[in-house]
Amino acid sequence: MRYLPLTHDDRKVMLARIGAASVDDFYTDVPEAARLDGPIHDLPSHQGELAVERHIGELAAKNRTASEGPFFVGCGAYKHHVPASVDHIIQRSEFLTTYTPYQPEIAQGTLQTLFEFQTQVAALTAMDVANASMYDGSTACAEAALMACRATRRKKVILSGGLHPHYAAATRTLCEAQGIEIVQLPAAVDSELELAKSVDGETACVIGQSPNVFGTITDMSSVAEAAHARKALFVSVFTEAVSLGLAMPPGEMGADIAVGEGQSIGNPLTFGGPYVGLFACTQKLVRQMPGRLCGETQDADGKRGFVLTLSTREQHIRRDKATSNICTNAGLCALAFTAHMTLLGDAGLTRLARLNHETACDLADALEAIDGVELLTPRFFNEFAFRTKMNAEAVLAMLDEKGVVGGVRASRLIPGAGFDDVIICAATECVTADDIEAYADALKEIV
């Protein structure tokens, strides 16, 4: 696209041609109360570049980044090491294309990478087929609920007490507008298997998470069996993709749809996004799947090539009957995922997962040894919840003063449910023995 600069005179001529007095005339359809009636309060109209850089630099310095000290925050976003080679690969010019790089004539590199991404996600989740990614884990979860309702022609979705509350909220938002009933089971550290008791003949799907928001790992095979016995689907969710290097994957539990967050692999925290939603399902359900799907084919000369496939599910062909209104994917984050996963390989992922689990075990041992600390999560990967006798918000504030970012208070995600004294903390491969010692020493002084 060319850059077309405008002068004031150009603008005047154009406005005169269409009979508008000013650009503001274009916005008269927006209710007046929602329109800006002048400059934004306290925001200077312009400053020199150096002054802006200095000011923004001062603001940025107020943040403490996850790399600056002991850091134990998880709950859906995990600080993992991203090799410098990943950044190098994703910035190669072959991948720097314009938006919607799906034309097979010009985008074989991107399409091949998406095909590899799908292959990796399918292998990671032990499912038949994966799509080219969703916006993030929470929207993938919501799309899974919608897909289950389409596939079963039912309108009831049951969410476990361990499903990440943000995933539950996204699912509720998308489903409620379509008249789908959402049943939320009460939040609990270890209750994914309760889903098996809740499923009935009206249920489109049950949605359970492992490791769940409290870090608890659960073999949900019995949930899948109970769902299938009532012709409902089982949706298996994860927020920490690295866990699949060790834990039983959704496909082995009998999941019909597996969804999760892929940020952990290849993508930094970046203030919460953009992330990359992983979405996989059984072959039987592929035509109900949302999103882009890339397939391998042959060109006119019989050479291997890649194209988007099963596009008849999608909006640009199927219009209002499309399986979803997503007509894109998280391309750059998916590329980073694929680059990192390729560098790790199968054995590398398992080693990384083992390292995460060992680090978290060391942290749990160190914290549990403190008088007044009660470990709540019975089986965990790299994240667990613990309780002290004090308010969690106060404990985290005091830890912060001692330079330790100790985790997330559970009441922030699940308010008013009796979790005021519960902290959820994660330990990835980035956490050192010194970090763990610093956490334990600081916590010992507080509780």
The residue ranges that bind another protein (CB under 8 A) are: 153, 287, 312, 317-318, 321
Q: How far is the CB of 304 from another protein (least distance, A)?
A: 21
Q: How far is the CB of 288 from another protein (least distance, A)?
A: 9
What SS3 state is found at 320?
A: helix
Nearer to another protein, 151 or 353 (CB): 151
What SS3 state is found at 11?
A: helix
Burial 40-63 (b: 16+ CB within 10 A, else e): eeeeeeeeeeeeeeeeeeeeeeee
Residue 306 to residue 296: CA distance in whole angstroms:
5
Residue 79 backbone dihedrals phi, psi, to 5 degrees = -90, 100
User: Amino acid letter at 217?
Assistant: I
| CB distance 285 to 151 below 8 Å | yes
Nearer to another protein, 322 or 398 (CB): 322
Residue 328 to residue 133: CA distance in whole angstroms:
8
Q: How far is the CB of 287 from another protein (least distance, A)?
A: 7
Rg (CA), the chain: 24
Nearer to another protein, 13 or 317 (CB): 317
Q: How far is the CB of 156 from another protein (least distance, A)?
A: 18
State how far the alpha carbon of 277 is from the alpha carbons of 137, 293, 317, 327, 350, in Å: 4, 14, 23, 14, 21
Angle, helices 433-446 vs 331-368, to 10°: value is 50
Q: How far is the CB of 329 from another protein (least distance, A)?
A: 21
Nearer to another protein, 104 or 268 (CB): 104
Q: How far is the CB of 66 from another protein (least distance, A)?
A: 46
Q: How far is the CB of 50 from another protein (least distance, A)?
A: 57
Widest Cα–Cα separation across the chain: 78
